Amino acid sequence: MRKALLLAGLMSGISMVSVNSANAVEIEYWQYIYETRVNAMDQLIENFEAANPDITVKQVNFPYADYQTRIVAANMAGKGPDVMQLFYGWLDKFVAGGLLQPLPADAFPHDQIESEFFPIVTAMKRDGEYYGLPTAVRSLALFYNKKLFEENGLDPENPPQTLDELVAAGKAIAKFDDAGNMVTEGMTLDMAGQDHQWWREVLVRQFGGVPYEDDYRKVTYDSPEGTEALEFYTGLQMNEKIGQSGFMDEGQAAFRAGKAGMTIDGTFRLGSFSQIEDFDWAVTELPANADGMRSNYSSYFANGIGAKVEGEELEAAEKFLTYLTSPEAMGIWLDVVGELPARRAVALTDENTSNPIYGPFLKGLDYAHTTLFVDEAAQRQVAIDMVNRVILNGQSPADSIKEAAEEEQAIIDDAM
């Protein structure tokens, strides 16, 4: 009798598992491959599934260079992601391409979003509809190698606070071999990294210009002030010789290897830089101009729901997105990735603002600008080409910036 009851219990358990498995909804979450981001998402998925045993989330990753193409191809085949991560600057392309659906206002009330998130969240809003929300936001700061500062007679507790001090520190650190080849950069120069943002939203403004007008639909950096900002940037290599475009391929790689005294990068780099063991590094705000004026660039990756998701998968996707934008998820993302929580109350705690690492980035959000790209990749390439024409081809900054402005204006006009 006991064996019969035991067998019946086991069969009942098997039956319940089968039923639960049959009723479970599986959704896919897509993001590009970046170790700390993948690790953070693994934790978030584990927590979400524990609280929602009827939903399974499969994380799918692709190399950054292939990511957008894979989403477009999958959507055309009717097999796109249920929830996807996308850079805010891709929004217009994704909406025009039918890749996203608006977030339901009952699940994501607009007044609540705009009162609780940092204002830059509105970059994900088109025609009165939100198409995604971020877990974290990012700004820029100056990372510096304390060991190289000390070795070159610089005070690691007093990093550069002005552009002039930045140049002076870079010149003190930069080293060359007997053949004149750079072996240590004073500061990385990487337009393909974050320097295009530094030039566009920081240097142009610090030299008295405005990069865009009409809600970022009219290019205006083709001005005497913008030209002076480009002359300053290209002069860091050509005149001051504190850095070299293409040195060790990427600026962040040179910094991680201890071969660069300073680099401008975002909060997203904190996770990978935390793995550095050969030297101590620190963070400070982006340098001000001679008049004390500071500027910064803020950005984020948002999470949106695929355009073709419906039924129980849509309900599961809405639940998952709600969790991804919760205070708990933002805290985990901060710990693992280093990016700042997108909700003001979660980010602006006394602990975070007084933190020597997070503090400079949070201060930067106070005076940051968010470029409203229509095609982020194409507009970034315009800036890269602009600098290369000066450094590699010997074109004058005035001619190169004029050419860049015309190219970028055409990109914007074609998208409208």
The pLDDT assigned to 78 comes to 86
* Domain assignment present for 35: yes
Q: How would residue 151 be classed by pLDDT, with cut points 50, 70 and 90?
A: very high
Structural domain containing residue 30? 25-138+299-369
What separation in angstroms does the CA of 261 have from each of 146, 185, 232, 391? 8, 6, 19, 22
Q: Are residues 293 and 303 in the same domain?
A: no
The pLDDT assigned to 5 comes to 39
User: What are the structure tokens assigned to 73, written together?
Assistant: 């191809």
Asked if pLDDT for residue 11 goes beyond 50, the answer is: no
Asked if pLDDT for residue 13 goes beyond 90, the answer is: no
* Domain assignment present for 17: no
Burial track 244-274 (b if 16+ CB lie within 10 A, e otherwise): bbebbeebbbbbbeebbbbbbbbbbbbbbbe
Say which CATH number the domain at 291 has: 3.40.190.10
Q: Are residues 152 and 181 in the same domain?
A: yes
pLDDT mean over 306-312: 96
* Domain assignment present for 10: no
Tell me the residue type at 145: N
Q: Are residues 69 and 207 in the same domain?
A: no
Q: Are 154 and 213 contacting, i.e. CB atoms less than 8 angstroms apart? A: no
Asked if pLDDT for residue 315 goes beyond 60, the answer is: yes
Asked if pLDDT for residue 6 goes beyond 50, the answer is: no
pLDDT mean over 384-413: 98
Give burial (CB, 10 Å; 0-12/13-18/19+) of 72. middle
Q: Are residues 116 and 178 in the same domain?
A: no
Q: How would residue 79 be classed by pLDDT, with cut points 50, 70 and 90?
A: confident
Give burial (CB, 10 Å; 0-12/13-18/19+) of 306. buried
Strand order in 140-145's β-sheet? 262-266, 140-145, 281-284
Q: Are residues 129 and 171 in the same domain?
A: no
* Domain assignment present for 85: yes
Q: How would residue 271 be classed by pLDDT, with cut points 50, 70 and 90?
A: confident
Q: What is the DSSP letter of 299?
A: B
Q: Which of 6-20, 234-248, 267-281 has the lowest mean pLDDT?
A: 6-20
Count of structural domains, the chain = 2
Q: Could you read off the pLDDT of 218-256 as tens digits, one per residue?
A: 999 999 999 999 999 999 999 999 999 999 999 999 999
Residue 281: strand pairing partners: 145
Tell me the residue type at 298: S
The pLDDT assigned to 272 comes to 86
pLDDT mean over 50-58: 97
What does DSSP say about strands 301-306 and 133-134: parallel, antiparallel, or unpaired? Answer: antiparallel
